[in-house]
Chains A and B, each alone.
Chain A
């Protein structure tokens, strides 16, 4: 069961290591993790996508996170109305089909072509889970050379 959880933490040396070692010590699976400063430079926001086998483990993950001394709050997004996004950078091969595919993607999704060379192009896209799946499906015929993604961030409505 995939789950989005967000923790506000003290922006201090070693906090990420504490969180990471909590997950590894207790055997929890993280699908993605995005960390960055908030409007308050003393506070960082960590957004986790976790794969919890059941409700009990999910509860433990949230409680164990809250228990870390440097964690200020933990929010579980399942009960919230929220917007989430993930940013992808993709390097794809260019071929005869690329022009058509790119223009379709530009029309349907908010993609940006950051670089176009003879043999490849670098595309930027930010979207939610479904949009990302659609985007990646569309690119498949071109052949993805390289794919990097930031991990999901989320904000409540």
Chain B
């Protein structure tokens, strides 16, 4: 069997049904095999979108996403998507063509050192130099991508290997002495945690993306209710705990809620689950949870005590460890006065925005209206910047895997292709990309993809004619010197229509409800251009490097 067929058979064995990609000279043998099925192949219009689509597919379904690109520029175009998946622990397998083995290192046409380039932005990578190793490599790649702390894995496959013959036999098992993730928490540490919880008066749970990845949302809910602790979820953790739950605090950190940040600051026991204490969450490290003993549950040992000194670390899978804690703990200590104090903060400093008086559209209102009309059951993808923060703040995520956003890398252009991947993986769901007028133009060519396959993604551009988040910083910290942030945009409706996609322009607040209704009812992709309040800011806000209880625009 030829290498290209071995690849196809191996992907079938891994249960792959959908592949995102773009052909090129070094992957023609693979695409020749794709011609006969059995995969649903989605041809994107730029390789970066293939990686993001595989990522959106993976985040929304929990399965491994797969993308394919050719050697050289095809592969380097994937790298932003690979790095995005790496920062957010998303399991994707990226298959890249490579020039033939005899030419590697010769600066051949469309040659790039792909394993070299992707080394520090992938969980692992392989250059397959012998067709006999191909099946095992695919098996190992899927295992590494999806196990432990998941992440992207790259398989670089020279074109001659795709044409070489070998017998196909897919291994049942893999043996890796050098890679053995820890899934179960140490029983001694679990006891210590139970004891600390018993002694605590002001416990607070900080849940991150790990809760969603490990499928621990039920266990987290049971745990929080058992110990009566309020729960804040990071951007990556949105949906890991029901947003409409009484114990929910919203998001912490730079654009978090006042009450989440106050809860962390005043807590005497911070229980962090599957969160890596990103600087956008912690703010000034010395002032982060200054009164709290810190428990850190994480599957990645390197996350522990990297940024924050941890008192009780437990390495393992969040679902297993929360499950074990739920068994050990009968009930927590009496935290009623703590919860009362939190309630007061919630009442005093709610997440809010000034309603528009001139009939201009408030971007937050658009997000809220999407929540109302989808009844909170849509998958929301975001781009990066203000649109991302409003989508995080004003849509209530009650279910895991419904919020897709580039949290770690902060990749503009992520949302639209990720929404495509999510929609292909969840055909029955409503998928919305909350976009900015800047971000959407970083992968706007994917309108061709949604038009080709009639992928009914709804793109909602919060169009303020600025790179809004940078403009906000310029307004607040750079004396309103709007350097390179005002945008002269195309007519997005016309652009959409040019691709054969329905476009809706929304000028006034009063038109928002109907426009969204119309878009959701349309059986196909839609681009909505909301002309929003131009200098609206994301508040509350902790200035970079400040303590998280020193928020502006939220405590007034």
Quote the shortest CB–CB distance from A67 to chain B (angstroms): 5
Quote the shortest CB–CB distance from A8 to chain B (angstroms): 9
Closest to B181 in A: A67
Task: Tell me the number of A-to-B contacts counted with CB atoms below 8 Å.
Answer: 36
Interface positions of A from 59 to 85, Cβ below 8 Å from B: 59-60, 63-64, 66-67, 69-72
Quote the shortest CB–CB distance from B136 to chain A (angstroms): 13
Contact with B along A9-42 (1 / 0, CB 8 A): 1100110011001100100000000000000000
Interface positions of B from 67 to 106, Cβ below 8 Å from A: none
Task: From the candidates A25, A59, A66, A69, name the one contacting B120 in the complex (CB within 8 A).
Answer: A25
How far, in angstroms, from A60 to B301 measured CA to CA in the complex?
Answer: 9
Are B305 and A18 closer than 8 Å at their CB atoms? no
Interface membership of A56, Cβ < 8 A: yes
How far, in angstroms, from A40 to B473 measured CA to CA in the complex?
Answer: 57
Question: What B residues does A72 contact at CB under 8 A?
Answer: 177-178
Interface membership of B40, Cβ < 8 A: no
Interface membership of B312, Cβ < 8 A: no
**Interface footprint category on B:** 20 to 34
Question: What B residues does A56 contact at CB under 8 A?
Answer: 305, 309
Are B302 and A60 closer than 8 Å at their CB atoms? yes
Interface membership of B109, Cβ < 8 A: no
Contact with A along B158-185 (1 / 0, CB 8 A): 0000000000000000001111000000
Are B178 and A10 closer than 8 Å at their CB atoms? yes
How far, in angstroms, from A17 to B115 measured CA to CA in the complex?
Answer: 10
Are A69 and B144 closer than 8 Å at their CB atoms? yes
Closest to B121 in A: A25
With known contacts A17-B119, A69-B178, A72-B177, A63–B124 Cβ distance under 8 A: no
How far, in angstroms, from A25 to B86 measured CA to CA in the complex?
Answer: 14
Interface membership of B428, Cβ < 8 A: no
Quote the shortest CB–CB distance from B499 to chain A (angstroms): 39
**Interface footprint category on A:** 20 to 34
Are A18 and B119 closer than 8 Å at their CB atoms? yes
How far, in angstroms, from A141 to B354 measured CA to CA in the complex?
Answer: 80
Are B301 and A14 closer than 8 Å at their CB atoms? no
Question: What A residues does B116 contact at CB under 8 A?
Answer: 17
Question: What B residues does A22 contact at CB under 8 A?
Answer: 120
Question: What B residues does A21 contact at CB under 8 A?
Answer: 119-120
Interface membership of B123, Cβ < 8 A: yes
Contact with A along B470-488 (1 / 0, CB 8 A): 0000000000000000000
How far, in angstroms, from A31 to B129 measured CA to CA in the complex?
Answer: 34
Are A9 and B119 closer than 8 Å at their CB atoms? no
With known contacts A60-B302, A60-B306, A69–B123 Cβ distance under 8 A: yes
Question: What A residues does B268 contact at CB under 8 A?
Answer: none
Contact with A along B171-206 (1 / 0, CB 8 A): 000001111000000000000000000000000000
Interface positions of B from 298 to 322, Cβ below 8 Å from A: 300-302, 304-306, 309
How far, in angstroms, from A13 to B156 measured CA to CA in the complex?
Answer: 14
Task: From the candidates B115, B119, B301, B304, name the one contacting A66 in the complex (CB within 8 A).
Answer: B301
With known contacts A21-B120, A56-B305, A63-B302, A14–B178 Cβ distance under 8 A: no
Task: From the candidates B127, B177, B301, name the one contacting A13 in the complex (CB within 8 A).
Answer: B127
How far, in angstroms, from A14 to B124 measured CA to CA in the complex?
Answer: 11
How far, in angstroms, from A129 to B127 measured CA to CA in the complex?
Answer: 40
Question: What B residues does A64 contact at CB under 8 A?
Answer: 302
Question: What A residues does B119 contact at CB under 8 A?
Answer: 17-18, 21
Are B178 and A67 closer than 8 Å at their CB atoms? no
Question: What B residues does A14 contact at CB under 8 A?
Answer: 115, 127
Interface positions of B from 388 to 437, Cβ below 8 Å from A: none
> 11 other contacts beyond A69-B123, A69-B176, with CB at 8 A cut-off?
A13-B127, A14-B115, A17-B116, A21-B120, A59-B305, A60-B306, A63-B302, A63-B304, A64-B302, A66-B301, A69-B178
Q: Which residues of A contact B (CB under 8 A)?
A: 9-10, 13-14, 17-18, 21-22, 25, 56, 59-60, 63-64, 66-67, 69-72
A–B pairs, 21, beta carbons within 8 Å: A10-B178, A13-B127, A14-B127, A17-B119, A18-B119, A21-B120, A56-B305, A56-B309, A59-B305, A60-B302, A60-B306, A63-B301, A66-B301, A67-B300, A67-B301, A69-B123, A69-B124, A69-B144, A69-B178, A69-B179, A71-B178
Q: Which residues of B contact A (CB under 8 A)?
A: 115-116, 119-120, 123-124, 127, 129, 144, 176-179, 300-302, 304-306, 309
